[in-house]
């Protein structure tokens, strides 16, 4: 089973669980009074992006760890963020480089899913501000030659660029499904726009920790697949 199949299975399972719990909630809501008092949990939810260790198992050039967290401040509103580390080696047409560094994001999630009874599933939309501090190492590069008279020359003397940083914004959409009491599986996608970044001399940032691959017009897209646990501090009646 390859990496794509594993990640597809995770998100498909999450969607199935969300549909199943929604059906169960509807059955329960039809059998109980509308005046039933429900207590909603308020607390911090922490977890991990499980896709990063899976990717590392299949590709030794990609190492990383991401911690995710959110805190419920209103019935449908959460302060949310991520913190992580990336060590990523990439091969392009004429160069090979390694990016290492830490990143963090902070923002809000709004849950648009209407739960029945005491369930806490989410279909959410939100935004993030992200910041990364990192280094780039140009491991090797090939000097492009016009024509075929002179052979291409590959330089293998690594060059390291330290103290780089980047700022970006992102729009986020995703789901979280409570599979067991207080335990959630989640999946989300982020569409990002780079605000600014400190570039190495004569070398563009093609990968940024947290932002990941930098595409045309300084845009990016990332996915995460999470498992998390909520630690309830208190409850409010609904």
In this predicted structure, the answer to whether residue 34 has a pLDDT above a threshold of 60 is no
* pLDDT given for residue 84 in this prediction: 97
- The first and second tokens of residue 129, run together, are 């501000």
Pick the range with the lowest mean pLDDT from 142-151, 170-179, 206-215: 142-151
Q: What is the pLDDT of residue 219?
A: 97
Q: CA angle, 236 as apex, 233 and 238 as ends, to 5°?
A: 150
d(CA 20, CA 123): 14
DSSP 8-state code for residue 93: S
Q: Which of 22-36, 86-100, 126-140, 147-161 has the largest mean confidence?
A: 126-140
Q: Mean of the pLDDT values across residues 188-194? A: 97
Q: Which residue has the tokens 């909520």?
A: 230
Q: What is the pLDDT of residue 120?
A: 87
Alpha helices in 43-159 (DSSP H): 51-58
Nearest partner of 64 among 17, 101, 95, judged by Cα:
101
- The structure tokens listed for 125 are 């939309």
Q: For residue range 58-114, what is the model confidence (pLDDT) as tens digits?
A: 998 999 999 999 999 999 999 999 999 999 999 877 788 999 999 999 999 999 998
* Residue pointed to by tokens 């009491």: 181
Name the strand (E) or helix (H) holding 37: none
Handedness of CA 97, 101, 107, 108 (dihedral sign): positive
**What does each C-alpha distance from 160 to 14, 93, 140 come to in angstroms?**
41, 19, 11
Q: Give the mean model confidence (pLDDT) for residues 36-49.
A: 85
Averaged over 5-22, what is the pLDDT? 52
- Is 15 a residue whose pLDDT tops 60? no
Mean pLDDT of 117-136: 93
Instruction: Find the mean pLDDT for residues 29-37.
Output: 50
CA–CA dist 160, 172 (Å, integer): 33
Side-chain half-sphere CA neighbours of 78 within 13 A: 28
CA 138 – CA 89 distance, rounded (Å): 10
Decide: 53 and 224 in contact? Cβ < 8 Å: no
Q: Which residues of 44-67 are buried (b: 16+ CB within 10 A; e: fewer)?
A: ebebbbbbbeebeeeeeeebbebb
Q: Is the pLDDT score of 5 beyond 60?
A: no
Q: Which of these, 127, 70, 66, lies nearest to 101 by C-alpha position?
A: 66
The predicted pLDDT at position 27 comes to 47
Strands 183-197 and 159-180: antiparallel
Domains in the chain (CATH in brackets) are: 3-32+40-237 (2.40.160.20)
Q: Which pLDDT belongs to residue 68?
A: 98
Among the listed residues 136, 134, 93, 127, the one whose alpha carbon sits nearest the alpha carbon of residue 108: 127
What gap in Å lies between CA 37 and CA 113, rounded to an integer?
19
């Amino acid at each position: 089973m390859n990496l794509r199949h594993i990640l597809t299975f995770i998100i498909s399972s999450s969607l199935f669980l969300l549909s199943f719990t929604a059906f169960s909630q509807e059955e329960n809501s039809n059998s109980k009074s509308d005046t039933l008092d429900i207590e909603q949990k308020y607390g911090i939810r922490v977890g991990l992006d499980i896709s990063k260790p899976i990717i590392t198992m299949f590709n030794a050039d990609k190492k990383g760890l991401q911690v995710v967290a959110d805190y419920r401040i209103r019935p449908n509103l959460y302060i949310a963020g991520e913190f992580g580390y990336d060590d990523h080696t990439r091969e392009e047409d004429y160069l090979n480089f390694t990016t290492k560094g830490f990143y963090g994001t902070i923002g809000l999630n709004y849950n648009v899913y209407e739960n029945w009874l005491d369930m806490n599933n989410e279909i959410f939309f939100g935004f993030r501000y992200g910041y990364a501090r990192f280094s780039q190492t140009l491991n090797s590069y090939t000097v492009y030659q016009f024509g075929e008279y002179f052979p291409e020359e590959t330089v293998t003397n690594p060059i390291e660029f330290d103290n780089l940083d980047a700022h970006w914004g992102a729009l986020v959409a995703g789901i979280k499904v409570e599979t067991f009491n207080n335990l959630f599986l989640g999946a989300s996608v982020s569409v990002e726009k780079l605000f600014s970044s400190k570039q190495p001399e004569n070398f563009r940032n093609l990968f940024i920790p947290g932002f990941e691959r930098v595409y045309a017009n300084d845009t990016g897209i990332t996915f995460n697949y999470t498992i998390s646990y909520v630690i309830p501090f208190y409850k409010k009646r609904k």
